């Protein structure tokens, strides 16, 4: 009898407690679902936070309309508190698919942003990170990440990177896993299309962020050369046509040093495929252009950055650990004088002959 009474009480407990206000429980209409987050530096050295939130409408036929909430603060948490104070609902970040980093954010600020993403149950680690001149302006443009229609910017990037063959990893966890001192953070760059179409975003290439140094920006074409130089090119998935009308079928890269350990060199052999057989002169001209583009980017970035933004050191370490150990202390000097050997070959798709 006593056991029955105890069991009955235990079973009745959920019934009695179901009406209590559990701290973690909230109805879906009591939350704001954040679909995109933008971070910009503000004028006081802090952070300006922009949150894109789709607002549900009365009619089920209408898709949610995005609203933008902004706040500023010395830290991300302060900016968030400022925004939350003016809202009547809880903010839910776990559906955020897009992180936009504006120009001018310091490394410490970016570390704080990623720390904010990883702490507890905030931003999903699979959210895509992009760069923009002004994150708030990009998000203000309109329905760039309308959840009902799919996230546009990540979708645009998937499409563009697929057609260009870029294998740039820019999800939060990929960036964090790749992060190491001296290693640049590579982010896709998006700009608003312009005053004519403020709600559209255009892929503007890649942005390389380095610790305490100005960002390097690459055009879409340069992005492809950069991807080839850093083993981030995935030509198999590129759509036919790709860049310059040809498709990269493979890159064979080698890195080494001369006999004395000096004279670092990187060799790239590009194997391209054209849809139709090209006249000999045209193929040669195209090859020359590609070789010039790749070599030009290498020299340009080496001059601007002054450091190994191509991660050649990592590649050498993987290919020849013993040689890397020998060259590592003097690698900066070796890189400054490294030679890039580029060769290009174009084949037609049908016959396989040049």
Partner 1 sequence: MRRHQTGSGLHKTALAALFTVGNTLIRYPWRSVGPDMLGLFLLSAVGALIPALCLYPLFCRLLRRRLSGRRGRLCLAAALALPLGAYALFCVWRSCGDYLNFASGLILPDSGRLLLALGFLGCVVWLSRVSGQGLDAFSLVCFVCVLACVLALFCFGIPHFRPEYFGVRLPGSAAELAGSLPVLLWESFLPLAVLSGYFALAAPRRGERALAGGTAVGCGILLLCVLQTLLTFGASYAAELRYPYSFAVRILSVGQYFFRLEGFSYLLDYAACLLRAAVCLAAARRLLGRFFPRLARWLPPAAGTVIFGIFCLG
Partner 2 sequence: MPAVITDRDARTVSGSLEESLALFREIFSLDATFRQREVRSGAGVRCCLLYLDGMVSSELVNQSIVRPLILAAPAEGDVADWMEHQVLYANDVARKEKLSDLLRGILYGDSVLLMEGAACGLVINSKGWRTRGISEPGNETVQQGPREGFDEAAMLNLAQLRRKLLTPDLCIEMLRLGRRTDTMVFVCYLHSLAAPQLVRQVKERLAAVDIDGVLDSNYLNELIRDRRHSVFKTCGSTERPDVVAAKLLEGRVAVMVDGTPVVLTVPYLFSENFQSDEDYYLSFWVSSVGRALRYFCFLVTVALPAFYLALLTFHQRLLPTFLLLSAAQSRAGVPFSSLVECLLLLLLLEILKETGARMPPNLGHTLSIVGGLVVGQAAVEARLVSAPMLIAVAVSGIAGLMIPRLRGAVFYLRLGMVLLAAVLGLPGCFLGLTLIFARIVGLSSFGISCVGSLEEPTVQGLKDTVVRLPWWMMKTRPVFNRNRRRQGGGGKGR
Is position 89 an interface residue for partner 1 (rule: CB under 8 A)? no
Residues 90-109 within binding reach of partner 1 (CB under 8 A):
94
Is position 155 an interface residue for partner 2 (rule: CB under 8 A)? no
Calpha distance 77→86 (Å, rounded): 15
**Token output for 19:** 């009406």
Q: List the 65-73 sheet strands across, edge first.
A: 65-73, 47-55, 36-41, 98-101, 128-131, 185-192, 201-210, 213-218
Calpha distance 217→350 (Å, rounded): 37
Out of 24, 45, 181, 329, name the contact with partner 2 by CB under 8 A. 24
Q: Provide the 3-class DSSP secondary structure of residue 245.
A: helix
Is position 195 an interface residue for partner 2 (rule: CB under 8 A)? no
Residues forming beta bridges with residue 252, ordered by sequence position: 269
Radius of gyration of the chain (CA): 26
Site string for partner 1, 164-193 (x = CB under 8 A): -------x-x--xx-x--------------
Is position 148 an interface residue for partner 1 (rule: CB under 8 A)? no
Look at the block and give the residue holding tokens 């955020």: 96
Report the b/e string of 236-246 with b at 16+ CB within 10 A. eebeeebbeeb
Site string for partner 1, 13-42 (x = CB under 8 A): ----x----xxxx-----------------
DSSP state of 243: G
Complex with partner 2: residue 20 or 85, whichever CB lies closer: 20
Is position 331 an interface residue for partner 1 (rule: CB under 8 A)? no
Is position 1 an interface residue for partner 1 (rule: CB under 8 A)? no
From residue 304, how far is each of 66, 188, 204, 336 by CA, in Å? 40, 19, 19, 11
Length of the chain counted residue by residue: 354
Is position 160 an interface residue for partner 1 (rule: CB under 8 A)? no
Complex with partner 2: residue 32 or 310, whichever CB lies closer: 32
Complex with partner 1: residue 31 or 348, whichever CB lies closer: 31
Site string for partner 1, 121-140 (x = CB under 8 A): x--xxx--------------
Nearest one of 20, 51, 26 to 37, comparing CA atoms: 51
Q: Using CB distances below 5 to 8 A depending on partner kind, what does residue 280 bind out of partner 2, partner 1, none?
A: none
Report the b/e string of 25-34 with b at 16+ CB within 10 A. eeeeeeebbb
Residues that bind partner 2 (CB under 8 A): 4, 11, 14-15, 17-18, 20, 22, 24-29, 31, 33, 35, 54, 56-58, 60, 64, 92, 94-95, 97, 121, 124, 147-148
**What is the binding site for partner 1 (CB under 8 A)?**
10, 17, 22-25, 94, 118, 120-121, 124-126, 171, 173, 176-177, 179, 318
């Amino acid at each position: 009898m006593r056991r029955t009474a105890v069991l009955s009480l235990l079973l009745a407990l959920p019934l009695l407690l179901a009406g209590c206000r559990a701290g973690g429980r909230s109805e879906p209409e009591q939350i704001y679902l954040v679909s995109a987050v933008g971070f910009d530096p503000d004028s006081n050295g802090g952070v300006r936070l922009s949150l894109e939130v789709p607002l549900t409408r009365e009619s089920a036929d209408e898709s949610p309309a995005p609203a933008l909430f902004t706040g500023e603060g010395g830290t991300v948490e302060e900016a968030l508190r400022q925004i939350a104070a003016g809202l009547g609902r809880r903010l839910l970040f776990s559906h955020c698919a897009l992180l936009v980093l504006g120009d001018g954010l310091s490394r410490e600020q970016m570390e704080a942003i990623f720390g904010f993403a990883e702490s507890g149950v905030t931003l999903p680690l699979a959210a895509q990170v992009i760069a923009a001149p002004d994150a708030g302006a990009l998000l203000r443009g309109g329905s760039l990440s309308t959840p009902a229609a799919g996230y546009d910017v990540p979708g645009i990037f998937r499409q563009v990177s697929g057609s260009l063959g870029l294998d740039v990893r820019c999800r939060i966890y990929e960036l964090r896993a790749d992060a190491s001192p001296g290693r640049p953070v590579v982010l896709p760059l998006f700009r608003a299309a312009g005053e004519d179409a403020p709600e559209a975003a255009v892929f503007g290439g890649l942005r390389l962020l380095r610790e305490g140094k100005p960002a390097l920006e690459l055009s879409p074409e340069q992005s492809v050369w950069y991807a080839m130089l850093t083993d981030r090119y995935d030509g198999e998935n590129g759509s036919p046509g790709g860049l310059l009308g040809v498709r990269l079928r493979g890159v064979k890269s080698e890195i080494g040093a001369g006999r004395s350990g000096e004279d670092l060199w990187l060799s790239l052999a590009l194997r391209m495929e054209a849809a139709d057989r090209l006249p000999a002169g045209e193929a040669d001209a195209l090859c020359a252009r590609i070789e010039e583009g790749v070599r030009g980017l290498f020299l340009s970035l080496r001059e601007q950055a002054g450091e190994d933004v191509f991660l050649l050191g990592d590649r050498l370490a993987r290919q020849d650990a013993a040689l890397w150990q020998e060259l590592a202390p003097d690698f900066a000097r070796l890189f400054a004088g490294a030679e890039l050997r580029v060769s290009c070959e174009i084949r037609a798709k049908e016959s396989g002959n040049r």
